[in-house]
Structure 1
Amino acid sequence: MPQTETDAADDRRPGEFVQSLDRGLAVIRAFSDDNDMLTLAEVAKIAGLSRASARRFLLTLETLGYVGYRQSRFYLRPRVLDLGYAFLSSSSSVEVTQDHLDKLSARIGESCSACEYDDGDIVYIARAAADRIMTIRLSVGRRLPAFCTSTGRVLLSSFTDDQLDEYFATYPRESFTAQTITDEGELRERLAEVRERGWSINNQELELGARSIAAPVADATGRFVNAVNISVPTSRVSVEQLVDEFLPELLSTTAQIGADISHLRLS
């Protein structure tokens, strides 16, 4: 298998890895939906740093305008969005994907999303929301565990056996509902089914009352660029309807996105 840019970066890591940058980013990642305002001690604990180190990073980020301080707590300021926007604005494939999601959502009247795999999670890179069917707030940049999401299983289905072994040994799997599958053996069986048929269904494993169907977006080489899903409320759309009525629309859209992305990269 040819070496990827990530592999090359890993090869350089021992001698060129900047630990202070890694720690600074860990401080930013300490903040989340559930932890939007944190004390110094909380940041230090979440980021795995000493209080002295966390304080230096927080004060530096505050000086640069990325972090604010109010009532003895730190919080992220809007300037942090510049970091994510740099990715979105530099990626023509995201723009293409968003355009197709908007059209798909308009045709079927349901919410659609595109996700990429990153470090055990799927990350939302584009979304067209028809209505709010999930209490989990979904927006661009949101991360969710790959093992229990339809897009995550699509992307995991492209992993080699060695990559799956590493994935299951590295990332925890918690139950979100009574439907969530966490057993490694059963998950491997599900991934084999997804690999064979080319799409995946999530039936209330992430949240009760919501189900989704997902398929991969592949480039000209067959590599999965991302995965797209359609999310529906269980009260309105059955699993059978999801497959019979929405899957053809989904597969048509992912094929169009893949073709457009491949054309962009060749032009």
Structure 2
Amino acid sequence: MSLAPRRSTPSTATPATAPLPDAPKTSPAAALEVFTGDPNFMTSLARGLIVIQAFTQQAPQMTISQLSIKTGLSRAAVRRCLYTLTKLGFAGAEDGSRYSLRPRMLTLSHTYTASNTLSSAAQPILERMSAALRESFSVATLDGEDIVYIARTSVSRVMSVDLHIGSRLPAYCTSMGRILLAYLPSEQLENYLAKVELIPYTTRTVNTIEKLRLHLRNIRRNGYSICDQEYEVGLRSLAVPVFSPSGRAVATINLSGNAQRMSVMDMQTRFLPHLRNAASELSVFLR
């Protein structure tokens, strides 16, 4: 489970200063009901993680009431979670009412990246490619309906949102996400397609399940994915899979660039061989 901020929203999203929306029909707290009766499930820990994940780039500071609405937890449960997190140095409230996460939270993500073979092996590979090609590269894995960045180098700002290790983006309209979806076992893919909401981030965003299926079939046939301005206008990206020894696509590596500067043909002829070589090199660490 990632503790990083959730993905960014389209430009039409509610500004950070606006009131928080009502809790969704299926709140994070409601999702815990499936574990009712499980004597080994630690509900208090799960609630604490829900509170942590409620903080986002759009809502970095929230009151107990706002967190209660967003998570579906009672105010008393939120208060206890925040009390514990504050005592441990992971959260705090400068004014006594609006809470935010503290820098100590970064130790959790550092523990993951330091102990994860794929993440630690990917970073120097990406840095070497960035130095040689002067472009931005990333490695991500699939977590639920999102991709999560586990390694990244950036030579320039290619997106309006600041991407970093731990950032999350929707899988269906990103090159890395489509790679990971394309190589999912059929049952897992069908489960994903049955519940995904195709939010139109741009006018180019895929808007039907059948179109998405077609994209995924083409990816499996070609072995790479190009996403052209579907998540953000002006952003074009190319991704390839990273396979484990068993043949499972456990990660994906990509190149992101400005659509006006980098053509689809340029990606296919100039950069695709580099990505495939990097993916092969990275897969060696999974043996």
The question of a shared fold, defined as TM-score above 0.5 by the shorter chain, is answered with yes
Q: How many angstroms does 1:134 deviate by?
A: 0.8
* Counterpart contact for 1:96–1:261, Cα < 8 Å: no
Q: Between the two proteins, what is the percent identity of the paired residues?
A: 38
Deviates more, 1:161-170 or 1:80-89: 161-170
2:88 to 58, 64, 77: 64
1:236 to 250, 258, 261: 261
CA distance in 2, matches of 1:163, 1:188: 14
Which residue matches 2:209? 184
Deviates more, 1:218-227 or 1:233-242: 218-227
CA distance in 2, matches of 1:190, 1:15: 43
2:154 to 116, 129, 149: 129
Q: Aligned-residue CA RMSD in angstroms?
A: 1.5
User: Cα–Cα, structure 1 residues 86 and 221, in superposed 2: closer, same or farther, change >3 Å?
Assistant: same
Q: TM-score, normalised by structure 2?
A: 0.85
Secondary structure of the equivalent of 2:246?
Answer: coil
Q: How many angstroms does 1:191 deviate by?
A: 0.6
Which residue matches 2:15? none
Q: How many angstroms does 1:111 deviate by?
A: 0.2
Q: How many angstroms does 1:54 deviate by?
A: 0.7
How many residue pairs match? The answer is 252
Matches within 5 A, 1:245-260: 245-260=270-285
Secondary structure of the equivalent of 1:124?
Answer: strand
Secondary structure of the equivalent of 2:142?
Answer: strand
Matches within 5 A, 1:12-161: 14-71=38-95, 72-161=97-186
Secondary structure of the equivalent of 2:286?
Answer: helix
Q: How many angstroms does 1:190 deviate by?
A: 0.6
Q: How many angstroms does 1:194 deviate by?
A: 0.6
* Counterpart contact for 2:117–2:285, Cα < 8 Å: no
AA aligned to 2:216 is L
* Residue 197 of structure 2 is aligned to residue 172 of structure 1: yes
CA distance in 2, matches of 1:121, 1:17: 25
Q: TM-score, normalised by structure 1?
A: 0.91
Deviations 1:157-195 (A, max 9, x none): 111222112112233221111111131111011111111
Structure 2: gaps of 5 or more residues: 1-33
AA aligned to 1:38 is M
Which residue matches 1:201? 226
AA aligned to 1:155 is L
AA aligned to 1:220 is P
Which residue matches 1:5? none
* Counterpart contact for 1:69–1:75, Cα < 8 Å: yes
Q: How many angstroms does 1:50 deviate by?
A: 1.0
Q: How many angstroms does 1:225 deviate by?
A: 2.1
Structure 1: gaps of 5 or more residues: 1-9, 263-267
CA distance in 2, matches of 1:81, 1:169: 34
CA distance in 2, matches of 1:105, 1:25: 35
CA distance in 1, matches of 2:157, 2:148: 19
CA distance in 2, matches of 1:175, 1:18: 37
Deviations 1:78-135 (A, max 9, x none): 1111111111111122111111111111221110000010011000000010111210
Secondary structure of the equivalent of 1:127?
Answer: strand
Deviations 1:200-251 (A, max 9, x none): 0010011111100000111222122210000010121111111111111111
Q: How many angstroms does 1:197 deviate by?
A: 1.2
AA aligned to 1:209 is G
Q: How many angstroms does 1:21 deviate by?
A: 1.1
Query: Deviating runs (4+, > 6 A) in structure 1?
Result: none
Which residue matches 2:237? 212
